[in-house]
Amino acid sequence: MTAKIIDGKEISAKIRKELEQEVSALTEAGIKPGLAVILVGNNQASRTYVTSKQKSCKAIGMKSLLIELPEDVEEQILLNKIAELNSQNDIHGILVQLPLPPHISEEKVIETISPSKDVDGFHPVNIGKMMTGQDTFLPCTPFGVMQMLKHEQIAVAGKHAVIVGRSNIVGKPAGQLLLNENATVTYCHSKTPDLATFTKKADILVAAVGRAKMITADYIKDGAVVIDVGMNRDENGKLCGDVDFEQAAPKAGFITPVPGGVGPMTITMLLYNTVKSAKNVLNNRN
């Protein structure tokens, strides 16, 4: 079997086109969707991602506000800034770029963001709603993965999904969203012995570990759907995923590339959530 490549850029383009129309209608109604991104410090990778998020906002007519704070900013200054954005009518989404410097509590930061503006879907209130299947902002990366499956008309119900990685922002919510769609879900992580015996049983394999090309051919069942959430650099400094694409592609049924797979979908769902937030404001006004 040779895998069909799931093109995250193409699916993103389609969704962003629909969003652009909604942004235009909202703007006409006096509610131009606005995203505020807070960047602490001067990490080059973070800066690149943030720039990309801003460009994507502007490309579909949204307002984008960048707030830069120095690496050594006091935690309270950051929390005050979030509180200010919480009360600002022209801002519908607030994203604090992670990771944060060690002297700042990510937990406190996330809990300070109003759940109604938490377009990352990281606030415990929104995570609770996701777990109980209520309408809320879903975490952008797992949400993007679900959109990719939907776009390819890959059935989830009854499938065995195996998640490798249990981070709060990717692994755990990815498993939860698949469970919400009636998959049977297995979580694997760094303490799982003999990982391949689990992953080889996966109809849908989600790799979210952060180790370059660790998922080789012998981890994959023939015809499996392989979703690569990894963002790593290989020995030549080239961007690569957690999956060894060259090895996996001939074996899988579907596979997502890196770059051009889950990454662009993450940004698309961030835009989606921000538009959703602006729509909520409109609906509450009417």
Ligand X SMILES: Nc1nc(=O)c2c([nH]1)NC[C@@H]1CN(c3ccc(C(=O)N[C@@H](CCC(=O)O)C(=O)O)cc3)C=[N+]21
Catalytic residues: 53, 97, 120
Pairwise CA distance, residues 257 & 229, whole Å: 9
Answer yes or no: is 166 a known binding residue: yes
* Phi, psi dihedrals of residue 265, rounded to the nearest 5°: -65, -35
Pairwise CA distance, residues 116 & 37, whole Å: 16
Nearer to ligand X, 79 or 195 (CB): 79
Question: Which among 240, 196, 192 has a CA at the least distance from the CA of 216?
Answer: 196
Nearer to ligand X, 175 or 264 (CB): 264
* Phi, psi dihedrals of residue 161, rounded to the nearest 5°: -100, 130
Judge whether 36 and 67 are in contact, CB under 8 Å: yes
For position 83 contacting ligand X by CB under 6 A, the verdict is no
Among 16, 94, 97, 277, binds ligand X (CB under 6 A): 97
* Phi, psi dihedrals of residue 34, rounded to the nearest 5°: -130, 135
Answer yes or no: is 116 a known binding residue: no
**Binding-residue pattern over the window 179 to 218 for ligand X, x denoting contact by CB under 6 A:** ----------------------------------------
Pairwise CA distance, residues 184 & 39, whole Å: 38
Answer yes or no: is 61 a known binding residue: no
Q: What is residue 91's three-state secondary structure? A: coil
Residue span binding ligand X (CB under 6 A) among the ranges 93-101, 190-198, 219-227, 246-254: 93-101
Q: At what angle do helices 171-180 and 124-131 cross, to 10 degrees?
A: 30
Nearer to ligand X, 198 or 245 (CB): 245
Among 95, 202, 204, 225, binds ligand X (CB under 6 A): 95
Among 11, 96, 206, 226, binds ligand X (CB under 6 A): 96
**Amino acid residing at 69:** L
For position 259 contacting ligand X by CB under 6 A, the verdict is yes
Pairwise CA distance, residues 84 & 76, whole Å: 12
Among 1, 13, 98, 196, binds ligand X (CB under 6 A): 98
Among 116, 266, 268, 273, binds ligand X (CB under 6 A): 266
For position 267 contacting ligand X by CB under 6 A, the verdict is yes
Q: Which of residues 236-255 bind ligand X (CB under 6 A)?
A: 239
Retrieve residue 10's tokens. Answer: 């193409």
Q: Residue numbers of the site for ligand X (CB under 6 A)?
A: 48-49, 52, 95-98, 120, 140, 231, 239, 258-260, 263-264, 266-267
Which residues are part of a known binding site for NADP(+)?
165-167
